[in-house]
Amino acid sequence: MMKLTRAILATLPFLAGWTSTATAQICEDLWFARNATIDQAGFCFSTPLGQAMFDNSDCTTTAPGLSKKERRLVARIREIEAEFQCAVDNSISKFDAPDGFSLEQRKSLTVQPIAGRSEEVEWACFDYMGPAKVLRAAPKETGEVIGALAPGQSFAQTHSDWDRWTFIEVVDLAGATQIGWVWLDDLELDQPEQSVCRQIVG
């Protein structure tokens, strides 16, 4: 249980206080989410960081056409980047991954999650007791299934909801993690007497 607790709480910086390091990690997370979105639209990166993080071999343009939802996503990310006064150094070839961040797992998503202020989005569910749930690559019913949340596992929400879908990181007893979008609106997470979590932190 101690290993699981450390793994799940590592994704919740607010439990240890909001720090400049946490802010830098939020900015890196936001940078990745914004650029992963335009990468999927065929953007050709010219900066060392962009070229190191994304594959330019299949890029097609420096002015990608985004869907309405993608434009809304990018606009929201830019708003939060401005709030945090983010200034990620594009001249570097990599950044220190934020807690709970897996580059390959994040690249498996077709819609990126948006990081934000911890007091608004971060909480954890220990020992989930509800029905099995699928994790999807996008916040919609037709999103590709990339994982599952099963009873007995624990999970953390560290990003904002999107269209009422929740982005979570699932941790099993061995410490292995999965990420994805899950539909939780049918669960009574805000009703302690009906909670599907043995304990909720956050």
Give the pLDDT confidence score for residue 16 in this predicted structure.
42
* Average pLDDT estimate for 91-102: 71
CB-based burial of residue 17 (10 Å sphere; 0-12 exposed, 13-18 middle, 19+ buried)? exposed
Closest by CA to 41, choosing from 64, 19, 24, 25, is 64
164 CA to centre of own chain: 15
Return the pLDDT at 172.
79
pLDDT at position 60, please?
A: 94
Of the candidates 20, 27, 23, 26, which has an alpha carbon nearest to the alpha carbon of residue 89? 27
Tell me: the pLDDT tens digits for 137-155?
999 999 999 999 999 999 9
Q: What are phi and psi of 123, to 5 degrees?
A: -160, 160
33, 112 in Cβ contact below 8 A? yes
The whole-angstrom distance between residue 137's C-alpha and the CA centroid of its chain comes to 11
Residue 185 clears pLDDT 60, i.e. is over it: yes
Task: Determine the average pLDDT of the residues in 112-130.
Answer: 80
Q: Which residue has the higher pLDDT, 189 or 136?
A: 136
* Confidence band, pLDDT 50/70/90 cuts, at residue 169: very high
Q: Work out the average pLDDT over 99-112.
A: 83
CB 64 within 8 A of CB 41: yes
pLDDT at 112: 95
pTM of the model: 0.84
